[in-house]
Structure 1
Amino acid sequence: MEFVIEGLHCAGCAGKIENKVRALKEVDNAEMNFAISTLNAYINSSDKDALKRQIIKIVEETEPGTTATLKDDLDGKEVEFELKGLNCAACAGKIERNVKELPGVVSTSLNFAISKFEVKIDNLDVKGLYEQVEKIVKDLEPDVEVILNTGSEDEIHVKKDNNKKKGNSLLMRMGVAIGFLGIGMVFRGESFELIPFLIAYLIVGYDIIKRSISNIKRGEVFDENFLMTIASAAALYVGEHPEAVLVMLLYQIGEYFQGRAVESSRKSIANLMDIRPDYANIKIGNDIKKVSPNDVKVGDIIVVKAGEKVPLDGIIIEGSSSVDTKALTGESAPMDVAGGDEITSGFINIDGLLTVEVKKRFKDSAVSRILDLVQNASAKKAKTELRITKFARYYTPVVVIIAALTAIIPSVFFGGNFNDWLLKAATFLVVSCPCALVISVPMTYFAGLGASSKRGILVKGGNYLEALSKAGVLVFDKTGTLTKGNFKVDKIHAEKDISKDEILRLTAHVESFSNHPIAVSIVNEYGKDIDKSIIKEYKEVKGKGVQATIGGKKVISGNLKFIKDNNIQVEESKTPGTIVYTAIDGQFAGFITISDEIKEDSKKAIQGFSELGINNVVMLTGDRKITADAVAQKLGITKYKYELLPNHKVDEVEKLIESKGDKSLVFVGDGINDAPVLARADVGVAMGGVGSDAAIEAADVVIMNDEPSKLIDGIKIARKTKKIVNQNIFFSLAVKIGIMVLTFFLAVPMWLAVFGDVGVALLAVFNAMRVLRD
């Protein structure tokens, strides 16, 4: 039974859930993958429904706010919408909640930063869904265009009258309103002064009033439309007619520029991820046809011309060129490719003509997976985002109550002028909207995710970006992370009764079924075909070695402990490097030394972490002490553990987690063999390489070019993002509270309160975009 877990942000709780589920008598084993928020339970019970309820209860009680859903229950069709022109974060939340309550809707995910709305449905017609979604959106935001992006026969083309764009229409209305406002000011004090002011008020504010009434009917009272309507109505009531018009006018002006700023920000972020290919040149006989990448199948032959993006993953069968990999890896230096080389979608062909055999469908290609990962990353919200969302839910009603008390208490109990205090209360209402926070905080995190991807660092969510900003303990795997992982046989030692060639032949045969890089290096060194027919009784002991009968001889190959566990007498070799010992028919026969180079970038990375103030750097390796000593000394690492099996690495990380305090523990590994530790760390970072499926699945962060120093850039971006988030929170609240205090003690004009709402939101959005600057 596979469960999808939502809202699980605590790695410790994930471990507790796993243990509790595993302890159930109906469960043989349980595996929690914290990195991708799934829980697999291997069961021995036929009563799946009862067990499902039991497991869901364990999840939800262990970490309140977390939900668990059986993956089979989530089956349904995914429908994607674009909500063009949606610039109100509060409205986005309302749209998502209302659509989620529709019959036949399984789940929803609205990404405000890129206006993408995904709805999973079951037994619901797509056209019917579209009509219901459009109605909900139009009720809340009449000027938002709902576009269905299905890419299939279900696509609905909705005819729109585009002669009057929202922006142009609003600008015209504001111009006319300013004219009537001017007329009203000229005839101020006359008996008919209300008429031009009222005309101006209705021209510029009728849509706000309409939305407010519509939302009240739906039970959505406390939003910015309601606040502006009540506040301006109060100004009209007390005779401050220009103030009422200015509130609506300035609010509309602020909303207009805020919308433009949000759209501009979205485009800036989208440009960072402009790696999606528009077409592919498919070769059909002697002809070349331009088609959508979605229409290309595995095995098809495509041609990539100079200046074009590589549309799909494949192998070059003809031609050579240099390719620009910057969009995926962040590296400015071009990479040379030729026949026989693998090539990844998203690269740009610089100067040659390449003929490529397609090896993956577009939806499985690196570029598609990366786009999906980055665009959906904002669904995993940082704790700060969650706190702001919760804060906004209570903040506005509280301010409304304060405003009501401000209007009533001083005038009723202390003899104050009711009109004066009502105007102060109206000012409170105007400034109370939390838009600046609700928009700028997620926008800042999404900008941080975009800035990271620009440098070849894929972060799976704002929660991981926030955790990365608090990095205090860095734990590195050695092989494939600090070293190149390109193993090569360095030395073969044979005992006197056997030749080196025979040691290599038998070791290569017994290692031939293993995918471990060390095993592969031995087979490659042997260089001849492996006769699999002579290999019998093969057995692999994870983390130790392999054994089999090869042509009638019992061969055991592995580390020193594995050989000794089989009661074979052997002396430990003092040669640096990874040692593979081999025994034949119960007698030690020799060993093979495997060497691995340290990455040129590793020393730069360790020094860079020290400059960031992170001095707690630890290396964990399964290698011998002599090899670990040599690598640690060259890199300047003082804390390291050696001869560790995968479960021992988890134990070591557990110890470090207990002593890390409020800092985050970041584990950096190769993304394949280190999955358990990657999942246990606060942030798991995989040195993934472009398009590595295993790395992308296993980790929270993927470094696309395998350079450890990229983590320095990632931490810097995370810290900058967090700093700007804090700035926006402090600035927004300080301005709003400051205006409220001034309003209470002084006669503050209502337009200043409008600045405290939309003006602050605009400045906060501009500040958020600083994350994108180098």
Structure 2
Amino acid sequence: MEDNQNIYRLQGLSCTNCAAKFEKNIRAIETVEDVQLNFGAMKITVKGDASIEQLEKAGAFDGIKVYPERQRLEKPEPFWKKRENIAAMISLVFIIAGYVAFFQEGENSPVTIGLFALAILIGGFDLFKVGLQNLAKLEFDMKTLMTVAVIGAALIGEWAEGAVVVFLFAVSEALEAYSIDKARQSIKALMEIAPNRATVRRGTEVMEIDVEDVRIGDIMLIKPGQKLAMDGEVIKGQSSINQAAITGESIPVHKMAGDEVFAGTLNEEGALEVRVTKRAEDTTIAKIIHLVEEAQAERAPSQQFVDKFAKYYTPAIMVVALLVAVVPPLLFGASWSEWVYSGLAVLVVGCPCALVISTPVAIVTAIGNAARKGVLIKGGIHLEETGKLKVVAFDKTGTLTEGKPAVTDVISLSDMDTDEILGVSGAIESFSQHPLASAIVRKAEQAGAETVPASDFRSITGKGAKASIGNETYYIGSPNLFEETLSIPEDVSRQVKELQEQGKTVMLLGTGQEIKGLIAVADQVRKSSASIIKKLHQLGIGKTVMLTGDNEATGQAIGHQLGLSETRAELLPEDKLAFIRTLRGQNGNVAMVGDGVNDAPALAAATVGIAMGGAGTDAALETADVALMADDLEKLPYTIALSRKTLAIIKQNISFAILVKIAALLLVVPGWLTLWLAIFADMGATLIVVANSLRLLRTKE
């Protein structure tokens, strides 16, 4: 973190307009250099010097409370105990009393007017305070429009309507704050996952300390039924760990010495000793929370459109309201009080609340819901793009297959026996990082093949490797590697082809003059891959493609087995990248699914890069737009379905918010638009938009 930059959590921030105003007030503090407010995550980053008291003073207009980032927030005040909600209830009592007086004493009785005036003052005190300040600065937000409308109603003698408008506005504000809080619940749930304290052993001393004080290398003691407070590596004991909170997998995973474990996961039956490997702020759950909060702050394309629209829309409504109030009386001699009243109603109905909130609530809810299910979507833009996908491309190894190839055949084609072939192959491949190399090394060890010393190792990109053993240079790699230097005998070519048709990858071992033997390796296809491809086709994904560096025959065998639309084999990393670019050119929106380590360029080139196994690899979390935290594709159809539902809901929200405004404004023509009907239209639209967005919480896998 940069020097002099502090992050705080907020409580009580009620609307996007208030957020913009709060940010502006903080910028006005002389010692503050820069400020960034994240409305979805209720966080603020302040660069420069500002005390919590100064920040709370800047947010006093909305009753905003400020806390240091690492501090767990107090439980918010219950809905009915909030000062503004109590004021609204008292206002309602005076409105009821006002209507009683209205029917007994008459509309213009001082008692009636007095009761409605009290209702307006008590219920609208906070509203007027902000609205009048804004009016003085010529800032036209929702509260300014409301203040003008209520004062105008009082001036033309519509005291009852002014009081009802104040009360309904207070109710809509309270319900909106409650609904947004519900949408943010997903983040709060994530923050509560990991315990605050951990039991650690340092030397011979065992103590329970705050997670902030735990150091890397401390030994954490975990009893059965306890949650892990930190990420680490098991050094003693074995147990089943429920990782659902991080990866979304419902089946517990067996862990033993050497395995990685994550903060926030639940130890089921055994006792474990875990060496802490990350500080509290670097744990996987801390990273997830950080990424989700960043994602919720990022503006999606539809939100950018709405924000731009609202910027011009509010002043336009002020002009329309003024014209409605002034033109008919001036030009056509109509009644002033009637048309000023209609102008005020236009002001009220013109509030852009429903429109402004239509996108962020849907995005905050969807991203939070996905995070709880083990899917990290790193921004509104990626959520929208995932909803528009036409093509999904998969890396083969480790994505559609287990990624742990095993040697299936060792065949001698010379005077060397199979153990010698394994010994020489294992010696060369022990220098290589390739998954196929580790399969050969493992097989050589299992077979007890004699280890021979190798030197001058050199990797031949995409084809194999070579090294010196004794006085001879040995090559190991794909048949292509040998075709360049030797002509492969026909019977060997036939054997290679037969093995490849069975979905196996064949490597030849030989010198510059002779092929000594062949080794066939097969990667096991994941059990769930075929059903996931089928689900994607059912969801309407037009094309599924597998990209692999394997030979054509192996690629086609696996592609056919899984029911993929297309298979591209024998691709080098740069070929995958070029192919993704071609797919984008032909089809528009393309996703690339890989393990995030060697697929980084292709993931970056796709419209949406989806990495698997995000819980274990930082690379996956960093490079991908979407990370499936479990090392499994199970959540891919759910992610696409959720994104599509979010897109549909955003479109519904924007269309509905605009249509309600147009319909209400058209009521001005026959003079049917009353003040209370205007606020009902505005409040109703806002609440329906929020409720529609909250449906995303119920999206099932």
What TM-score does the superposition give when structure 1 sets the normalisation length? 0.83
Alignment counterpart, residue 169 of structure 2, candidates 239, 243, 251: 251
Deviation at 1:225, TM superposition (A): 1.1
Deviation at 1:179, TM superposition (A): 5.6
> Is residue 2:527 matched to residue 1:611?
no
Q: Is the Cα contact below 8 Å between 1:276 and 1:368 reproduced in 2?
A: no
> Is residue 2:60 matched to residue 1:143?
no
> Is residue 2:554 matched to residue 1:634?
no
The residue that corresponds to 1:211 in the other structure is: 130
> Is residue 2:373 matched to residue 1:455?
yes
Alignment counterpart, residue 125 of structure 1, candidates 4, 25, 49: 49
Q: How does 1:182-221 map to 2 (within 5 A)?
A: 182=99, 185=102, 186-190=104-108, 192=110, 193-217=112-136, 219=137, 221=139
The residue that corresponds to 1:582 in the other structure is: 509
Separation in 1, partners of 2:313, 2:325: 19
Q: Is the Cα contact below 8 Å between 1:620 and 1:642 reproduced in 2?
A: yes
Deviation at 1:753, TM superposition (A): 1.1
Tell me the SS of whatever aligns to 2:95: helix
Q: Is the Cα contact below 8 Å between 2:342 and 2:671 reproduced in 1?
A: no
Q: 1:547 to 1:96 in 2, by over 3 A?
A: farther
The residue that corresponds to 1:47 in the other structure is: none
> Is residue 2:658 matched to residue 1:733?
yes
CA deviation profile, 1:640-681 (whole Å, cap 9, x unmatched): 1111111111221122111214xx211111211111110011
> Is residue 2:481 matched to residue 1:562?
yes
Deviation at 1:720, TM superposition (A): 1.4
The gaps in structure 1 that reach 5 residues or longer are: 1-73
> Is residue 2:640 matched to residue 1:718?
no
The aligned amino acid for 1:604 is: S
Separation in 2, partners of 1:759, 1:149: 35
The aligned amino acid for 2:49 is: D
The aligned amino acid for 1:634 is: Q
Alignment counterpart, residue 91 of structure 2, candidates 174, 183, 193: 174
Alignment counterpart, residue 547 of structure 1, candidates 462, 466, 470: 466
Deviation at 1:760, TM superposition (A): 2.2
Identity %: 36
The residue that corresponds to 1:525 in the other structure is: 443
Q: Is the Cα contact below 8 Å between 1:424 and 1:744 reproduced in 2?
A: no
Alignment counterpart, residue 537 of structure 1, candidates 456, 467, 482: 456
Q: Is the Cα contact below 8 Å between 1:582 and 1:588 reproduced in 2?
A: yes
CA deviation profile, 1:71-91 (whole Å, cap 9, x unmatched): xxx944441122211111122
Separation in 2, partners of 1:107, 1:538: 54
> Is residue 2:517 matched to residue 1:598?
no
* Alignment: residue pair count: 684
The residue that corresponds to 1:683 in the other structure is: 608
Separation in 2, partners of 1:98, 1:612: 48
Deviation at 1:689, TM superposition (A): 5.0
CA deviation profile, 1:418-449 (whole Å, cap 9, x unmatched): 21111111111111111123224211111111
> Is residue 2:115 matched to residue 1:115?
no
Deviation at 1:275, TM superposition (A): 2.3
Q: 1:629 to 1:543 in 2, by over 3 A?
A: same
Alignment counterpart, residue 239 of structure 1, candidates 132, 145, 157: 157
The aligned amino acid for 1:209 is: F
Q: 1:630 to 1:224 in 2, by over 3 A?
A: same
The residue that corresponds to 1:652 in the other structure is: 579
Tell me the SS of whatever aligns to 1:743: coil
Separation in 2, partners of 1:360, 1:317: 15
The residue that corresponds to 1:85 in the other structure is: 12
Alignment counterpart, residue 418 of structure 2, candidates 493, 500, 511: 500
The residue that corresponds to 2:144 in the other structure is: 226
Deviation at 1:717, TM superposition (A): 0.9
Q: 1:583 to 1:477 in 2, by over 3 A?
A: same
Tell me the SS of whatever aligns to 1:471: coil
Separation in 2, partners of 1:642, 1:102: 60
The residue that corresponds to 1:707 in the other structure is: 632
Separation in 1, partners of 2:277, 2:451: 28
Deviation at 1:283, TM superposition (A): 2.0
Q: 1:190 to 1:701 in 2, by over 3 A?
A: closer
Deviation at 1:347, TM superposition (A): 1.4
Tell me the SS of whatever aligns to 1:600: coil
Tell me the SS of whatever aligns to 1:411: helix
Q: How does 1:292-441 map to 2 (within 5 A)?
A: 292-441=210-359
Q: 1:103 to 1:629 in 2, by over 3 A?
A: farther
Q: 1:569 to 1:420 in 2, by over 3 A?
A: same
Separation in 2, partners of 1:760, 1:482: 45
The residue that corresponds to 2:692 in the other structure is: 767
> Is residue 2:590 matched to residue 1:671?
no
Q: 1:605 to 1:104 in 2, by over 3 A?
A: farther
What TM-score does the superposition give when structure 2 sets the normalisation length? 0.91
Tell me the SS of whatever aligns to 1:622: coil
Separation in 2, partners of 1:490, 1:142: 69
Separation in 2, partners of 1:533, 1:557: 15
Q: 1:174 to 1:319 in 2, by over 3 A?
A: farther
Separation in 1, partners of 2:586, 2:663: 41
Alignment counterpart, residue 758 of structure 1, candidates 683, 686, 690: 683
Q: 1:320 to 1:115 in 2, by over 3 A?
A: same
Q: Is the Cα contact below 8 Å between 1:319 and 1:339 reproduced in 2?
A: yes
Q: 1:434 to 1:101 in 2, by over 3 A?
A: same
Tell me the SS of whatever aligns to 1:508: helix
Q: 1:441 to 1:125 in 2, by over 3 A?
A: same
Tell me the SS of whatever aligns to 2:9: strand
Q: 1:202 to 1:671 in 2, by over 3 A?
A: same
CA deviation profile, 1:287-342 (whole Å, cap 9, x unmatched): 53222222222221111122221122222233332222221222222223334433
Separation in 1, partners of 2:423, 2:26: 65
Deviation at 1:244, TM superposition (A): 1.3
CA deviation profile, 1:250-290 (whole Å, cap 9, x unmatched): 11122122222222332255326642332211124555322
RMSD: 2.9
> Is residue 2:614 matched to residue 1:695?
no
Q: Is the Cα contact below 8 Å between 1:273 and 1:327 reproduced in 2?
A: no
Deviation at 1:106, TM superposition (A): 6.0
Deviation at 1:469, TM superposition (A): 0.8
434-443 or 244-253, which deviates more = 434-443
> Is residue 2:189 matched to residue 1:267?
no
Separation in 1, partners of 2:189, 2:70: 22
The aligned amino acid for 1:252 is: A
The aligned amino acid for 1:484 is: E
Q: Is the Cα contact below 8 Å between 1:79 and 1:150 reproduced in 2?
A: no
Q: Is the Cα contact below 8 Å between 1:672 and 1:694 reproduced in 2?
A: yes
The gaps in structure 2 that reach 5 residues or longer are: none
Q: 1:216 to 1:297 in 2, by over 3 A?
A: same
Deviation at 1:599, TM superposition (A): 0.5
